[in-house]
Structure 1
């Protein structure tokens, strides 16, 4: 639309752009803390079952899940709930010591994290579609408030089942906020600055991996840690109230008056007193289109109705799936190196930061598609190369793992930018939500692939190395969005797909 050009003349560091990016980026600093919080809140402290005997010379049974009931026969019995004793030197309290999630109840620790990820999966699907129907801003505010309330509630949960419910709802809120936060930022960002802003926000997500171990090192009680990482979202809710709704969405939703108000508000903030104010007449040409209004029912099925949309959705889903599939697999298997969990999280975050800068440069000067493809294929090759590293060279294995995880994390940031630019306004958040759902599906399947170690120790690495290479190639067949304006309707997407071969031929001839 012609009005898109209104923002293109603005500098990235104009007052409005600076405030918008800053306000929408601050909450992203705490997203990783919620996603990875259970590394510390569910840490397993040293424990043993309290014996009925008190003689000092009595040793504990070899099976730490049992205790002696007879000294004559060395007969043992399973430990009952409430009889566990924990060494709380490192962690003063965790959900493990709170609800005795050890031995036969050990599976409940993984259940809690799975329930959280199920909430993230649900949030990707629900809040993506709702944002296309009701607007980005209102959904962001709802998700921030939901995260604040549910995260705080989890800190005071009296029972494990209630704790899991609060964590599920927190996961929904976190995912809904993240996908819509990134989408709204891109819709207000001038074309030439989108790669920079996208990677800046991705960097904020990475910084959360460094913030978490720092806070967890200071706060060793899981109640207070949960509270300290959830209460800030009340402040974020108040802060984001300043952010205006996307004028692109308002125009497509036939809310032209509000779109005019928001555009003129931006002009006032930027001090453009001499500029021509936006009027309703300027929007007439934008609202007269044949596309269905956003107030109609938008469903994920619309992502597959037309050929171009179907191809985009499938190839992007492959990209998102493979990135998360391998990313979380490497993160889960890091304990094999026997390093401090505090140190590992800091190293992961520090390694990803320079790779985010590299992904920015590639996205801005080479292209989105090529950047995503490279940041998938390279870690796939590194993972396959790690198969040839001897087991005693743990430092080299750690280096390849950290580097691969850093590349995969940067590919996710590039994918956020590319997905935002590729989908039209009427289905943008639905598309981002669906591809995010595929990303979470990859995280769910990754632990199942780790079980193939039982058949062949090398098999998981073969799978984790092959999948990103295979999924990193089809993305090259999609349209490039470098220096391209955001599209608004499905018809424009189909037209772009039809015109792309002709435009490519003209460039080659010229």
Structure 2
């Protein structure tokens, strides 16, 4: 490997190597190299302890980690309903132009009241009644609309049909722009001030913006509120994986990050909208849940690993003691870890890294560029197909339920594969599924077949399942590739790319009127590019997290691999 173009201090690199060369395979009972002869578990010698040694002595994944994961995953319900529920908010119920009645002067021998009664009671289920005409027989454009009363969405609330039909896709894109802005900002905030503060702040932003959405009197007001909802959602989404991952060992990290909570919460959402049929009621529930989750400030701890990396020893000790209490494990000899931290201090514990560091250091650049393209693909597929679910044939509520349900078995398989064959190859398999789904749906659009609707829905769900399975290993791999002091900056920046894809995806749905299957053409193309990018990335399974930023990450990974292979 070529030397980095950036200067680096030799002590820093040596410290990094010293801290990480005692790597262990956490899928077994981890035993360090220095203690193998004596049979003592990791951390029982007089050597200095690393954060992973501390976590291992505290159980790796005990009651503390389980409760933390449950709280964080349940908080994701509000985010899921706000983002995944866009397909319901933007759904177009049956509608008619009421101006047509005035122009055609229907049934002049019958009173208007009688005519209305006949129409409503006898013909509301016919296609002729719900004429969906934007232009009147006299050439003027319709300005008054009637929507079916069985479903109340943003479309029926603000008359978003005909010349306003573009608004729903734009609202989704505005929300995703908010997520892009939030993702870029939160990475710096979380690496400078810790994970907890911006994480809980996300619920406050979501609660306030959702209340404004409920009281919106115009779609522009609603879109503005959704922009800030996007900021709050990105704060949460950019931190929750890291907050969980930094409190767990590698063996359990993929399980908690990849758990199909999003799909389960979207299934719950489909049930709720089936029962309520009203976007306003759903919005009120979301605001209430966000307000309740503000109380998590008193239960969620700061990231133990971030505190250690920033040399906040007293605060880290409190979190360790809390873990020991909940996991019913004896308090570890924390002073041994303090010695390790003091030896590794290189003056960068107060450093504030910007996104520039991801491109300035060659090893990080080699990680960031492939991940950028892969994360962009996640956004295009995930949000593009999700927004387009309203276009599928069949019952909307059933499609929404199946859309979420399809990804659950794939996510569970993904969790298993991440441990067995690694994060890298699991991601490649998931993108291959997306590639096949995208290709088939594209071909179907240009083939005259009576099964077009069913094939489109089926293979679109296949692409959805593939991207659902890809999110977990991609997030886990990203968490494990970057050092703690810059991890959230990297995660936030890559989330920006996913949100950019989320902005582009719904627009492809809108443009499919001009180019049939455009979204799925892009899905197939981007999936292929992502596969090529992921091949260039290193595997991270069974590796300790890196805490400090050094210049030669590649050399350290190679030395660590050689060390593990020799034992």
**TM-score of the pair, normalised by structure 2:** 0.80
Cα distance in 2 between the residues matched to 1:35 and 1:444: 12
- Give the Cα separation in 2 of the matches to 1:86 and 1:454: 24
Match of 2:285 among 228, 251, 256: 228
Match of 2:146 in 1: 86
Q: Counterparts of 1:124-273 in structure 2 under 5 Å?
A: 124-200=183-259, 203-272=260-329
Unaligned runs of 5+ in 1: 68-73
Over 3 Å counting, the alpha-carbon distance change for 1:329 and 1:355 in structure 2 is same
Closer, same or farther in 2 for the Cα pair 1:458/1:99, shift >3 Å? closer
Secondary structure at 2:287's aligned position in 1? Answer: coil
Post-superposition shift, 1:180?
A: 0.5
Aligned counterpart, 2:334: 278
Q: Distance in 2 between matches of 1:359 and 1:130?
A: 31
- 1:130-154 Cα shifts (integer Å, max 9, x gaps): 1111110011110111111111221
Aligned counterpart, 2:407: 352
TM-superposition CA deviations, 1:436-462 (whole Å, max 9, x none): 111111222334556776886466544
CA separation of 1:260 and 1:243: change in aligned 2, threshold 3 A: same
1-structure distance, mates of 2:130, 2:394? 28
Look up the SS of the partner of 1:47 in the other structure. Answer: strand
Instruction: Specify the SS of the correspondent of 2:140.
Output: strand
Query: Against the structure 1 CA distance between its residues 133 and 197, is the aligned structure 2 distance closer, same or farther, given a 3 Å change threshold?
Result: same
* 2:371 paired with 1:316: yes
Mapped contact 1:303–1:313 kept (Cα < 8 A): yes
Q: Is the CA contact (8 Å cut-off) linking 1:42 and 1:95 kept in structure 2? A: yes
- Identify if the C-alpha distance between structure 1 residues 366 and 278 changes in structure 2 by more than 3 Å, giving closer, same or farther: same
Instruction: Report how far residue 27 of structure 1 moved.
Output: 0.9
**C-alpha deviation, 1:397, in angstroms:** 3.6
Equivalent residue for 2:75, pick from 20, 27, 30:
27
Stretch moving more, 40-49 or 207-216: 40-49
Based on CA coordinates, which of the two structures has the bigger radius of gyration? 2
Question: Residue 304 of structure 1: SS of its match in structure 2?
Answer: helix
| Structure 1 position 421, deviation (Å) | 0.8
Alpha-carbon separation, structure 2, partners of 1:316 and 1:303: 11
On the 8 A contact 2:376/2:500 being kept in 1, the answer is: yes
- Matching residue of 1:71: none
Give the Cα separation in 1 of the matches to 2:566 and 2:301.
Answer: 44
Q: Runs of 5+ in structure 2 lacking a partner?
A: 1-18, 20-49, 109-127
Could you say if the C-alpha distance between residues 462 and 160 of structure 1 is closer, same or farther in structure 2, counting changes exceeding 3 Å?
Answer: closer
Residue by residue, what CA displacement relative to the aligned partner does 1:3-26 show, whole Å, maximum 9, x if unpaired? 321112444662212211111111
Please say if 1:7 is aligned against 2:55. yes
Distance 1:287 1:301, change over 3 A: farther
Q: Residue 65 of structure 1 corresponds to which residue in structure 2? A: 134
- Alpha-carbon distance between aligned partners in 2 of 1:61 and 1:261, rounded to the nearest angstrom: 64
The 1:244–1:214 alpha-carbon spacing in structure 2 relative to 1, beyond 3 Å, is same
TM alignment of 1:352-431, pairs within 5 A = 352-389=407-444, 390=447, 391-394=449-452, 395-431=454-490
- 8 Å CA contact 1:8–1:191 kept in 2: the answer is no
After TM superposition, give the deviation of residue 303 of structure 1 in Å.
1.0
| 8 Å Cα contact 1:323/1:376 also seen in 2 | no
Judged with a 3 Å threshold, the aligned counterparts in structure 2 of structure 1 residues 22 and 125 are, in CA distance, closer, same or farther, namely: same
By how many angstroms is 1:127 displaced?
Answer: 1.1
**For the residues of structure 1 that align with 2:51 and 2:441, how far apart are their CA atoms?**
51
Kept in 2: contact 1:309–1:490 (CA 8 A)? no
Aligned partner of residue 431 in structure 1, secondary structure: helix
For 1:17-59, what per-residue CA distance to the aligned partner results, in whole angstroms no more than 9, with x for missing partners? 2211111111123322110323223332313234547954379
1:409 CA displacement: 1.2
Q: Is the 8 A contact 1:124 1:175 kept in 2?
A: yes
Question: CA 1:287–1:325 in structure 2 vs 1: closer, same or farther (change >3 Å)?
Answer: farther
CA contact (8 A) 1:31 1:208 kept: no
Distance 1:462 1:23, change over 3 A: closer
Q: 1:231: how far off?
A: 1.5
Change (3 A) 1:332 1:185: same
Contact 1:133 1:294 survives alignment (8 Å):
no
Partner of 1:70: none
Moved more, 394-403 or 207-216: 394-403
Describe the shift of the 1:264–1:335 C-alpha distance in structure 2 as closer, same or farther (beyond 3 A).
closer
Give the superposition deviation at 1:500.
Answer: 4.1
Deviation at 1:343, TM superposition (A): 0.9
Q: Secondary structure at the match of 1:65?
A: coil
Say which is worse superposed, 180-189 or 153-162, in terms of deviation. 153-162
* Structure 1 residues 452-502: Cα deviation after superposition (integer angstroms, max 9, x where no partner): 7688646654442132122112222222211111101221xx433024456
CA shift, 1:310, in A, is 0.6
- Residue aligning to 1:106: 165
Do the aligned partners of residues 499 and 485 (structure 1) sit closer, same or farther apart at CA in structure 2, a change above 3 Å counting? closer
> How far apart, CA to CA, are the structure 1 residues paired with 2:355 and 2:284?
35
